[in-house]
Structure 1
Amino acid sequence: MSPSLHPFPCCLACSLLSAEDRSNIILGVPRSNHKEQGFISIDCGSTNDYADEDTGISYKSDTGFVDTGTNNVISPEHYSSNTVYGRQLINVRSFPQGKKNCYTLKPEQGKSSNYLIRTFFHYGNYDNKNEVPKFDVYVGVNYWTTVEPTNLSPTYRPSMFYVPTSDIIHVCLINTGSGIPFISALELRPLDKSLYPFDSGVLQNGLRYDMGSTTDKVFVRTLSNWVPTNTSLAIDMQGSNDSYKPPLEVLRTAVQPPSGYHALRFDDNTSVDDSKRYVCFHFAEIAKLTQGMKREFIIDVNGGNYISEPIMLDHLKPLSICLNQIFKGHFSFSINATTGSDLPPILNAFEVYGVISPFYLFKATDSRDVTAVVDIKQTSRISRDDWQGDPCSPNKYSWSGLTCSSDDIPRIISLY
């Protein structure tokens, strides 16, 4: 069979793992320890808290996270067949009132951690109107994505890696006039700052590829000369210092160049001149090399923009390399055998993310003013639909009854 690029569920994202895998490993830690890792898992629209039977993850209702909206249940004919997230897609929380409705997340690690934020939107004709809405989602004070499901049943589930600037994270649904916003589930997972080591901004629109899989034919034409290889042997996760811990099924497959060639080359035809990319590579030596044979290679990104030191792998031990560098413009890479290598390079998986740099992001309202106005809201029991999320930023969604400055970091000038 021809090899292909097959999207893989990095254990950090845990997006498509089987129920069994997700119950055994959650972000690389045992299921029994996941609570102490600071997970926030919300089954939006649910009326009660529960522990998922398949994964052991504790899901909360919306109570305490959002003050507005109504609970709904999708039509039975649109129940998802997804064995991992099926239960979380039955209920939805909809927001018929107000332009901006926000979930307030207070992770115990605060701004000292980076986070994976994942959302799920499964319309399922919950309102019996057969009209799929379109709306925007903001994280903090900045635009993240537009939700526009293609029809009644498919689930839209964007995710991002986020560097917070405060201890509170707002996820806001914005009514843009094309239907009532809704959400099925919202998850937040803390990440050690050594994982995906970017300093600020947002990583989004991630593509995670399992190399060597023969089940996905989408990319066969472009990479038909890459030769798949695999093993049934156990990958040594315990003896490895690889904190990323990609799924075992990903590490057991790989690709190498065809006979007579010494490089694996990838060219991202979707990247444009103003694109910004962040990349991670995952390797494991799954072949038992005969004595005296050596596999050594280097990574070259964007034609010399980044060149690694020579890399050698230990048998069945994973190695993950995330480059703490943003690559601008057209994106490509090659993995090249060194002149001293007896064998061609291999690649088990790689990840590519789009980057939103801080230069393009709005700044949140001054934290002192936020604390003060939230105290006023609580003590005076002010109830206004739009008093959610950040008070001043972005300006078009600022709270009613406030006057905000136009400073780089907005200040609240007055209340009226």
Structure 2
Amino acid sequence: MASNSHFLVLCLFFISSVICQVTEFISIDCGGTGNYTDPRTGLAWISDNGTIMKYGKSSEVESPDENIQYRRRRDFPIDSRKYCYTLGTRERRRYLVRATFQYGSSGNEDAYPKFDLYLDATKWSTVVILDSSRVYVKEMIIRAPSSSIDVCICCATTGSPFISTLELRPLNLSMYATDFEDNFFLEVAARVNFGALSKDVIRYPDDPYDRIWDSDLEKRQNYLVGVAPGTVRINTSKYVDTRTREYPPVKVMQTAVVGTQGILSYRLNLDDFPANARAFAYFAEIEDLGANQTRKFKLQQPYFPDYSNAVVNIAENANGSHTLYEPSYMNVTLDFVLSFSFVKTRDSTQGTTLECD
């Protein structure tokens, strides 16, 4: 008795087909010693050593993540200069840009690194390392302003600035379009696969655009807490038609959580993100309901007054079961912690379900 919804929080900053052209992917192993194909994804990775990046030094990570690209990192000098990677783009095409950082263990550090990340001349984020073993991910969606973009590392206040990987992924023309994309970019706050079958992330080839969908089984501080009693996990092996604007992967839409007591609720830590945001939700009814069965619910969030009154009837909104329905919530005002609930309506016979981006 399940539907899937995916809840993607994208924060606003100033400034073809479903099958992506994988040949246009750019995957840079920063500090890597050579080119290779990742056996997990089948994607080709290139080293920045002496060609793409002539500054800084390649350093071995003492306790790397199990992925090949985190065995080494590129460290940069502690000064006021910007150290930039130039990525080729097609003007006005939409791209996902992702930078990752794993520092690795070190027993003689007085303070972990803290430094700035820039896209061209616009500050993207401040990278703050608090856990040497964690992979920190910074991801944005942009419309390319020209034939190239620069991703730059600079301005360390503690430690040495560094980077582990840099990735560029072209998107379908319909994906993540906004009215203000010439002046803003979208930074991803959370992309969550609710009802996940394991702690493993879902990405390429399951997602042809190589978005990273984090498992809701991943446990860390202030991440997916405040879960309502009666929440259970479900999944289906049936195909889910996701051919709409955003094309979430079928594998993600085949799992869900169900609020058997009529409510689903979660809290997400949104530190370092601004108050204005856009939330994308993806729903699909993944069980064939009986003639007298309905699943209706509302988003219950005090900061979404216009949306909290709207009733979601997934099978009706999507014109059938196992078909995607994807509303989005514009100009959302958020606190540092996002609390949201889906609550079934009085005339609904089935429990609320959630599967979030």
Q: TM-score, normalised by structure 2?
A: 0.72
Indicate which of 319, 323, 343 corresponds to 1:317: 323
**Match in the other structure for 1:231:** 235
Q: CA deviation at 1:49?
A: 2.1
The 1:231/1:247 distance shift into structure 2, 3 A limit, reads same
2:119 is the alignment partner of 1:139? yes
Query: Which residue in 2 is equivalent to 1:114?
Result: 94
Q: Give the secondary-structure state (helix, strand or coil) at the position aligned to 1:248.
A: helix
Unaligned runs of 5+ in 1: 1-7, 11-26, 352-416
Task: Flag the 1:242–1:67 CA change in 2: closer, same or farther, 3 A.
Answer: same
Distance 1:244 1:339 in 2: 32
Q: Which deviates more, 65-74 or 44-53?
A: 65-74
Contact 1:256 1:264 in 2 (8 A): yes
Alpha-carbon distance change, 135 to 317 in structure 1, aligned in 2, over 3 angstroms: same
| 2:47 is the alignment partner of 1:47 | no
* 1:222–1:303 CA distance, 2 compared to 1 (3 A): same
Q: Which has the higher strand share?
A: 2
Q: Pick from 251, 261, 264: which aligns with 2:254?
A: 251
Shift, 1:189, TM fit: 1.1
CA–CA distance in 1 between the matches of 2:131 and 2:334? 33
State how far apart, in whole Å, the 2-side matches of 1:340 and 1:300 are.
Answer: 17
CA-CA distance at 1:195 after TM superposition: 1.7
Aligned position for 1:327:
332
Task: Give the equivalent residue in structure 1 for 2:186.
Answer: 203
What are the residue-to-residue correspondences of 1:297-312 with 2, within 5 Å? 297=297, 299=299, 302-306=303-307, 308=310, 311-312=313-314
The aligned residue for residue 103 of structure 1 is: 85
**Superposed CA offset, 1:149-204 (max 9, x none):** 22443322222223333332111111334232111111111222422222321222
Change in Cα spacing, 1:144 to 1:66, as seen in structure 2 (3 Å) is same
Q: 1:357 corresponds to which residue?
A: none
Q: Give the secondary-structure state (helix, strand or coil) at the position aligned to 1:175.
A: strand
2:325 match: secondary structure: strand
Secondary structure at 1:204's aligned position in 2? strand
How does the TM-score come out when normalised to structure 1? 0.63
Matched with 1:222 is 226
Gaps of 5+ in 2: 1-5, 9-16, 197-215
Q: Which residue of 2 aligns with 1:93?
A: 74
SS at match of 1:111: coil
Match of 1:34 among 22, 31, 51: 22
- The structure with the largest alpha-carbon Rg is 1
What CA distance in whole angstroms lies between the structure 2 residues aligned with 1:167 and 1:221? 42
Tell me if the contact between 2:75 and 2:160 (Cα under 8 Å) persists in the aligned partners.
Answer: yes
The structure whose residues are more often helix, as a share, is 1
Of 182-191 and 287-296, more deviation after overlay is shown by 287-296
The one-letter code sitting in structure 2 at the alignment partner of 1:79 is P
CA 265–237 in structure 1, closer or farther in 2 if over 3 Å, else same: same
2:353 matched to which residue of 1?
346
Structure 1 CA distance for aligned equivalents of residues 323 and 271 of structure 2: 32
3-state SS of paired residue (1:112): coil
Q: CA deviation at 1:320?
A: 2.8
* Residue 73 of structure 2 corresponds to residue 73 of structure 1: no
- Please give the alpha-carbon distance, in whole angstroms, between the structure 1 residues aligned to 2:33 and 2:108: 23
SS where residue 69 of structure 2 aligns?
helix
The one-letter code matched in structure 1 to 2:60 is: V
Check 1:145–1:295 CA distance in 2 against 1; reply closer, same or farther (3 A cut): same
Counterparts in 2 of 1:188 and 1:221: CA distance versus 1, 3 Å:
closer
Instruction: Kindly tell me the number of residue pairs found equivalent between the two proteins.
Output: 309
Report the CA distance between 1:113 and its aligned residue: 2.0
**In the aligned structure 2, how far is the partner of 1:299 from the partner of 1:271?**
23
Q: Is the 8 A contact 2:279 2:328 kept in 1?
A: yes
Deviation at 1:56, TM superposition (A): 1.3
Change (3 A) 1:293 1:178: closer
